[in-house]
Amino acid sequence: MIVRRAVEAFGADYPQWRALTRTMLKCDFRSASGIQMGGAESKGGNRAFWFSLIWYALIGLYVAAMVGATAWISGTDSAEIVHRGTLLGGTVGMALVATMLGMAILIDFQTVVISPDDYDILAHQPISSRTYFLVKLTNEMVYAMIIGGLVGVPAFFPVLVLSGLTAAAGWLVGVLGVILATTLGIICGYAALLRFVHPQRLKRVISYIHVIFFMAVVGAPVLLGEVLEPIFERAELQGGFPTPDWLLLIPPAWFASFQSLFGGEWSAGLAVAALAAVGTVALLLYYASARLSFSYAERLGLMATASEGRRRSARPRPGHRRLSPEFNAVAALIRGQFRDDMTFRLGVLGLVPATILYLFMAMRDGPLLDPFVHLGFESGRLWLLHLAALGFPLALVETLFKSESFAAAWIFFTAPVARDRLVVNSGICVTAFFIAPYALLLAGIFIWSFGNLWHAMAHALVLALMAHVCIQMLLLVAPRLPFSQPTKKGGRMGYLMGTITVGVVIAALLPLGLWVGYSRTDFTLGLLGLLAVAAFVMPRIVARGIRSRVEKLEFTG
């Protein structure tokens, strides 16, 4: 068997590698659910995972389109289609594959690398460090190959049409190299950070890295379109756009060089770039095999149990006594989770720079257009801020129900609290802590852009009320207790992109409603009044609508 020989050639024990790998993958794919309806098995436990795969496949189609379009225009002679722009198009595609794969690993699969339990479970077993490393690497590579394949393989077909079968085969080799380099690079990064940072603080550092990747994923389509638009225009005028000489200095171009070499474009620069790609993977593999061992797992386990020092306990504020007990309870949970839960912190912090990025893109051509003056779709790039104002809060709500500490949700089933009010107040907390300050920020931006105080305040208020109503409608459709569900590998990106997709649909249809609502002053006042009434009534409607359903929830964590 080829696999057995490869494992043994690496110095690992094949039966142990096979048993541990199968066990870890079974544990990962098991549909665990902390809360189930009426004690029945959750039928949609892996729905988010499969939605994530569909989303990655759609991203793969986008990558294929960008690779094909960039390769088509990046040539100087229309007759040289066979060798047209394989390096520039391949570099764009490799960069997108690496960005999406890195984002997925950091958000969904970081526990595959960071696992303090490994040493306690496996240290007393006769397992070598080489076997342990190969098991961890295999476990991580399974997910990386699935995601990288969905994102990178669809571009095989435009490369096949433009450059031939051999160049398309080179594209697949480059994608494999990018997957290996990205995965090994993240593993090495974890191992290097662990030498200097406490695991609890390590999660905090990683959350900030997540913010950077979140900005890259959210802004990549917009920024890439802005960068390639002038290139396309120049190529149309000149009959092509030559590949710049400095491109080989960029690491994604090293892996794209396989596509050019396999397609027959031989040069010393491409050969050196291909050798740099192979050397990078080999160096990362060597460093990862030296760092990811039982000593690494032991140090992680010992450090995870160490104390970081006592924190000063928060004193109750007098003003909180005037609020409902359920609101105070959820607010305290949100503050605690923001401090200790990396996933939730990412969900909050990642939206701020993404909003700034969208604001920058919306105002690239000047101040935003006043929707009261430019009715309907004439408001131009204002839709980007509509997406941020409506889609991002929905994405934040999804992070409000999942936590690594979901087992602590037993308190909801023993404390004398109304579960329906806990669910409703979860949405109200999002409105109070996120949507309200978000609306104030947008109001300031609108005042500066519109030059009309009342138009700016009214538009910001409309967006805030709509976001609040959308959140309550989401809770009505899918009621869940705060931080009571386990995080599942592969599910976070599905939830994130799913809610943002809903926000995109709402933002796309919003100009139609605003066209009517902003056409006359009395219509505007009527729209504000209708939204205000809906915002006041919806929490009560949701509480009544979900009461019987949340009472049937059973804790099975």
Tokens of 115: 């696992």
CA 450, CA 459: separation in Å to the nearest integer? Answer: 10
What is the residue type of 46? N
Residue that finishes a domain, picked among 257, 273, 303: 303
| 288 and 344 both lie in a single domain | no
Contact, 184 vs 92, CB < 8 A? no
| 156 and 109 both lie in a single domain | yes
| 299 and 328 both lie in a single domain | no
Instruction: Specify which residues 485 forms β-bridges with.
Output: 402
The pLDDT of residue 468 is: 93
User: Would you give the DSSP letter of residue 485?
Assistant: B
| 283 and 405 both lie in a single domain | no
Strands 35-37 and 553-555: antiparallel
The pLDDT of residue 379 is: 74
| 390 and 496 both lie in a single domain | yes
The pLDDT of residue 217 is: 60
| 337 and 452 both lie in a single domain | yes
Residue that finishes a domain, picked among 303, 338, 358: 303
| 394 and 511 both lie in a single domain | yes
Q: What is the pLDDT tens value at each position of the chain, 557 positions in all?
A: 678 887 777 777 888 888 888 887 777 665 443 333 333 334 444 566 677 788 888 889 988 888 887 766 655 443 333 344 567 778 888 988 988 888 777 766 555 555 555 555 555 567 776 777 778 778 888 888 988 999 999 999 988 888 889 989 999 999 999 999 998 888 777 777 767 766 566 666 766 776 776 666 666 656 666 666 666 666 556 555 566 667 788 898 899 899 888 888 888 888 999 999 999 999 988 887 766 555 555 555 544 454 445 555 555 555 555 677 778 888 888 888 887 776 677 767 777 777 777 777 777 777 788 888 888 777 767 888 888 888 888 888 877 887 777 778 888 878 777 888 888 988 899 899 889 998 998 899 889 888 889 999 999 999 999 999 999 998 998 888 888 877 666 566 666 666 767 777 887 788 888 888 888 888 999 999 999 999 999 999 999 999 888 887 777 65
- Residue 315 placed within a domain: no
Instruction: Tell me how far apart the terminal alpha carbons of the chain are, to the nearest angstrom.
Output: 41
Residue that finishes a domain, picked among 270, 303, 336: 303
- Residue 316 placed within a domain: no
Residue 36, helix vs strand vs coil:
strand
| 297 and 329 both lie in a single domain | no
Q: How many domains does the chain have?
A: 2
| 448 and 525 both lie in a single domain | yes
Residues 6+ away with beta carbon under 8 Å from 117: 301
- Which helix (H) or strand (E) covers residue 37, if one does? strand 35-37
**In terms of residue numbers, what domain contains 163?**
53-303
- Residue 20 placed within a domain: no
- Residue 453 placed within a domain: yes
- Residue 492 placed within a domain: yes
| 328 and 299 both lie in a single domain | no
Tokens of 260: 């050019």
| 275 and 338 both lie in a single domain | no
Q: How many helices (H) and strands (E) does the chain have?
A: 23, 2
- Residue 17 placed within a domain: no
- Residue 29 placed within a domain: no
| 378 and 242 both lie in a single domain | no
Tokens of 94: 């490799």
- Residue 177 placed within a domain: yes
Contact, 54 vs 500, CB < 8 A? no
Task: Extract long-range pairs of 519-523: CB within 8 Å, 24+ residues apart.
Answer: 519/375
The pLDDT of residue 555 is: 72
Contact, 341 vs 405, CB < 8 A? yes
